[in-house]
């Protein structure tokens, strides 16, 4: 074969990318799910399947068609962002419009995202659509979202770089007397300056004894002398998030502070060195958990070691003791060991990694050695 022909064959064999690829993969699951259409109501799933980033609307995907139903405010944006879809403006009651569409397309078995449809919506839907068969599906799109494509990885990497930039900047402001809330605001401000659309979630800034709270949201507490300050934050870039934690020390650390920090850092680094495709979520979890347990702090590490993220901050893939995940290339997950000692304080060090063909690529590059301010 000539070189050009070889290239053509490769191109033909390559699975469809982007939205057309996602539609094809979803439709290939219809027979196994026992449906001939899926109604997507969950925002991040709608974004993933259509490209539309607005906050309202539903997508109806049938074997042949793809319709995005939204309201007046979003018509122009939806047409622009979702060219693979026919975009329809709904009446006062969105389900009436959906009913007309399912009738027209001869849908018999309509899949619903049961995790995301409220009892009220389900009642309205059945009143409007009448005698269809409703099939409760769970996590269909969420599972498609687990493996990220090149575009998604690029966007998440961008979000990770912005968190690194914000961390570098915020170090200039952390000192005794500054409130946690102020630090959280500064982080968000720096993320925006770096190009983020917003912060990715409610930031954790927890200092002193509060750093023993794994989810200590930023409070009015002032940072004191000789305290850990744990910051867990991330950016939202075109809907995709990053999620990083760094713990710094203000003042003069004791031997115990240094010991805790060194153990968590070792757990973080050993996990990153050991993660690879084929590993189960439980095996991944024990890479870091065993390090912490070997120093006698197993009881003080009460959460999972990591989680998938992307359009949402917690997605399906988990590194934990109960995880059913198996890592494959394209998974994007956090690695976030921690030790939390009530009445003393805590340390967490969280990075974002991409599972590659033979290991991981670390997407966050903020320094990890103990920073003393």
The residues that touch Zn ion, with contacts defined as CB under 5 A, are 232, 243, 245, 334, 350
Comparison of 209 and 351: residue with beta carbon closer to Zn ion: 351
User: Bridge-partner residues for 299, per DSSP?
Assistant: none
Nearest-approach distance from CB 308 to Zn ion, in angstroms? 10
Q: How far is the CB of 106 from Zn ion (least distance, A)?
A: 44
Alpha-carbon distance of 204 to 213, in angstroms, equals: 10
The nearer residue to Zn ion, 36 or 188, going by C-beta atoms, is 188
For 166, half-sphere exposure in the C-beta direction (CA atoms, 13 angstrom radius) is: 35
| Closer to Zn ion by Cβ: residue 152 or 243 | 243
Give the nearest distance from C-beta 313 to Zn ion in angstroms: 7
Nearer Cβ to Zn ion (190/334) = 334
| Closest to Zn ion by CB, 36 or 350 | 350
Q: Is 162 exposed, middle or buried (0-12, 13-18, 19+ CB in 10 A)?
A: buried
CB atoms < 10 A from the CB of 195, how many?
13
Contacts of 118 (CB under 8 A, 6+ apart): none
Q: What is the DSSP letter of 197?
A: S
**C-alpha–C-alpha distance, residues 238 and 157, integer Å:** 12
CB of 336 to Zn ion, least distance (A): 5
Minimum CB distance to Zn ion smaller for 46 or for 307: 307
The DSSP-derived string for 65-126 is -EEEEE-GGGHHHHHHH-TTSEEEE--SSHHHHHHHHHHHTT--EEEEETTT--HHHHHHHH
Return the H-helix or E-strand segment holding 262. helix 255-274
- Give the number of C-alpha atoms closer than 13 A to the C-alpha of residue 23, restricted to the C-beta side: 18
CB of 199 to Zn ion, least distance (A): 12
Q: How far is the CB of 301 from Zn ion (least distance, A)?
A: 14
Q: Is 25 within 8 Å of 31 (Cβ atoms)?
A: no
- Other Cβ atoms less than 10 A from the Cβ of 158: the count is 18
CB 64, min distance to Zn ion, A = 40
Least distance in angstroms from the C-beta of 245 to Zn ion: 5
Structure tokens at 200: 């990715």
Cβ-based nearer residue to Zn ion, 190 or 245: 245
Q: Nearer to Zn ion by C-beta: 236 or 245?
A: 245
The nearest distance, CB 142 to Zn ion, in angstroms, is 17
Instruction: Tell the burial category of 33 from Cβ atoms under 10 Å away from its Cβ (0-12, 13-18, 19+).
Output: middle
Please enumerate in sequence order all residues whose Cβ is within 8 A of that of 17, keeping only pairs 6 or more positions apart, or say none. Answer: 149, 150
- What is the rounded CA–CA span in Å between residue 369 and residue 373? 13
> Which is nearer to Zn ion, 142 or 243 (by Cβ)?
243
């Amino acid at each position: 074969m000539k070189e050009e022909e070889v290239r053509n064959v490769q191109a033909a064999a390559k699975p469809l990318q982007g939205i057309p690829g996602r539609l094809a993969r979803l439709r290939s699951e219809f027979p196994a799910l026992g449906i001939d259409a899926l109604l997507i109501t969950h925002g991040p799933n709608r974004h993933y399947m259509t490209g539309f980033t607005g906050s309202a609307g539903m997508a109806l995907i049938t074997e042949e068609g793809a319709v995005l139903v939204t309201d007046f405010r979003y018509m122009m944006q939806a047409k622009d962002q979702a060219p693979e879809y026919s975009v329809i403006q709904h009446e006062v009651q969105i389900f009436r419009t959906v009913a007309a569409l399912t009738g027209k397309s001869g849908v018999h078995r309509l899949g619903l995202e049961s995790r995301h449809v409220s009892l009220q919506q389900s009642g309205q839907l059945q009143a409007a659509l009448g005698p269809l068969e409703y099939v409760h599906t769970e996590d269909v799109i969420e599972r498609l979202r687990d493996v990220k494509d090149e575009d998604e990885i690029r966007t998440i990497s961008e979000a990770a770089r912005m968190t690194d930039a914000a961390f570098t900047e915020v170090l200039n402001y952390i000192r005794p007397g500054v409130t946690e809330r102020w630090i959280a605001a500064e982080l968000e401000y720096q993320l925006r300056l770096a190009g983020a659309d917003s912060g990715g979630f409610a930031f954790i800034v927890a200092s002193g004894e509060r750093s023993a709270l794994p989810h200590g949201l930023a409070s009015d507490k002032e940072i004191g002398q000789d305290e850990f300050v744990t910051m867990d934050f991330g950016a939202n870039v075109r809907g995709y998030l990053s999620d990083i934690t760094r713990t710094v020390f203000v003042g003069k650390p004791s031997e115990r502070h240094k010991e805790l920090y060194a153990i968590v850092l070792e757990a973080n680094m050993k996990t990153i060195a050991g993660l690879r495709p084929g590993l189960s979520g439980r095996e991944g979890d024990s890479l870091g958990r065993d390090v912490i347990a070997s120093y006698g702090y197993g009881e003080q590490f009460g959460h999972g070691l990591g989680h998938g993220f992307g359009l949402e901050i917690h997605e399906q893939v988990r590194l934990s003791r109960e995880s059913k995940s198996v890592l494959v290339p394209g998974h994007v997950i956090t690695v976030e060991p921690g030790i939390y000692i009530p009445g003393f304080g805590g340390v967490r060090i969280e990075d974002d990694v991409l599972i590659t063909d033979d290991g991981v690529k670390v997407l966050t590059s903020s320094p990890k050695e103990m920073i003393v301010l």
